[in-house]
């Protein structure tokens, strides 16, 4: 199986040159293979966002190496990273991060702006992905004219339009109601099952996590437990995740 991402000994210290540096990540190793669907959970402040940011070029680690698609991104210049990001990664955020002054269509096209595609090809790509996500009727609307669920679908379309090697999603359902959250996760699962899209996601919701194939727990900047879905039903996997989370909270009361 092809390796999409390999993180080795990844560290992040905030305020490195201050009197009180804070070590948010204490040396994490992670390999993501093609078609993985990995979910990261952990208490608030445990380093989940820091971890996915430093392994996906949004932020730089202060130690360790990150290789994506065979390329070491730890040594790249800002300019190289900018291009690399657009060509290889798709990002989905809790607050959607759509640009309010652009239509849904223009928002979805943003990652193609550095490509050499013609205007016609870009329109075709945008329409194809929008159709797949059931938002082709919204292409000429502005984000503020769309519901939360529709905005998140637009953000997912934007993340997918380049057919990236990896989709990185930090609390993608954090601003959605339960029904929309499940719809978005069913979509993730479908993209993973049917199109082989590789997904790395952070959530604090066990139900949302139960759509993944592998679960990693982060605590105090270190990877603790790993749970795999394997042949379990989603319900069995969900109970295992709930159980791991409750062990976690029981420790807090000892």
**Which does residue 22 bind out of Mg ion, ligand ADP, none, counting CB within 5 to 8 angstroms by kind?**
ligand ADP
Residue identified by tokens 């997904």 is 199
Tokens of 154: 């637009």
Tokens of 230: 């394997």
Q: Distance (Å, rounded) from C-alpha 17 to C-alpha 19?
A: 7
Tokens of 196: 């082989």
**Binding test (CB under 6 A) with ligand ADP, winner from 10, 37, 39, 48:** 48
The window from 31-39, 48-56, 148-156, 208-216 that contacts ligand ADP (CB under 6 A) reads 48-56
Site size toward ligand ADP, by CB under 6 A: 12
CB of 35 to Mg ion, least distance (A): 25
Q: Closer to Mg ion by CB, 13 or 49: give it.
A: 49
Our separate counts of H helices and E strands in the chain read 8, 10
Q: Closer to ligand ADP by CB, 69 or 174: give it.
A: 174
Tokens of 250: 């029981």
Q: Closer to ligand ADP by CB, 87 or 248: give it.
A: 248
**Which does residue 159 bind out of ligand ADP, Mg ion, none, counting CB within 5 to 8 angstroms by kind?**
none
**Binding test (CB under 5 A) with Mg ion, winner from 49, 60, 62, 115:** 49
The answer to whether the CB of 95 falls within 8 A of the CB of 172 is no
The window from 40-48, 71-79, 113-121, 244-252 that contacts ligand ADP (CB under 6 A) reads 40-48
CB of 251 to ligand ADP, least distance (A): 17
**Binding test (CB under 6 A) with ligand ADP, winner from 4, 7, 50, 241:** 50
Q: Closer to Mg ion by CB, 25 or 129: give it.
A: 25
Q: What are the Cα distances from residue 140, in Å, to 102, 107, 121, 154?
A: 9, 10, 18, 12
Q: Is 13 in the site for ligand ADP (CB under 6 A)?
A: no
Provide Rg for the chain, Cα atoms: 18
User: What is the β-pairing status of strands 199-202 and 166-170?
Assistant: parallel
Q: Where are the alpha helices (DSSP H) in the chain?
A: 48-55, 78-88, 104-109, 119-132, 148-160, 178-195, 206-209, 234-252
Binding residues for ligand ADP, rule: CB under 6 A, are: 14-15, 22, 24, 42, 44-50
């Amino acid at each position: 199986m092809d390796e999409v991402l390999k993180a080795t000994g990844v560290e992040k210290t905030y305020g490195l040159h201050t009197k009180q540096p804070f070590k948010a990540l204490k040396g994490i190793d992670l390999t993501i293979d093609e078609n993985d669907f990995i979910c990261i959970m952990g208490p608030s402040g445990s380093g989940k966002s820091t971890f996915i940011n430093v392994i996906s070029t949004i932020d730089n680690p202060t130690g360790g190496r990150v290789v994506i698609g065979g390329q070491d991104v730890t040594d790249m210049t800002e300019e190289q990273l900018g291009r690399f990001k657009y060509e290889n990664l798709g990002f989905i955020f809790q607050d959607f991060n759509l640009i309010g002054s652009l239509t849904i269509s223009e928002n979805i096209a943003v990652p193609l702006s550095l490509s050499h595609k013609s205007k016609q090809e870009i329109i075709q790509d945008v329409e194809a992905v929008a159709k797949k996500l059931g938002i082709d009727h919204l292409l000429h609307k502005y984000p503020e004219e769309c519901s939360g669920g529709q905005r998140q679908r637009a953000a997912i379309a934007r993340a997918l339009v380049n057919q990236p090697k990896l989709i990185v999603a930090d609390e993608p359902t954090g601003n959605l109601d339960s029904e929309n959250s499940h719809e978005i996760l069913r979509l993730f699962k479908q993209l993973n099952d049917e199109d082989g899209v590789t997904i790395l996601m952070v959530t604090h919701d066990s139900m949302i996590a139960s759509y993944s194939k592998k679960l990693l727990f982060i605590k105090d900047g270190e990877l603790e437990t790993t749970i795999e879905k394997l042949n379990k039903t989603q319900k069995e996997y969900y109970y295992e995740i709930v159980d791991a989370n409750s062990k976690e909270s029981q420790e807090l009361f000892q």
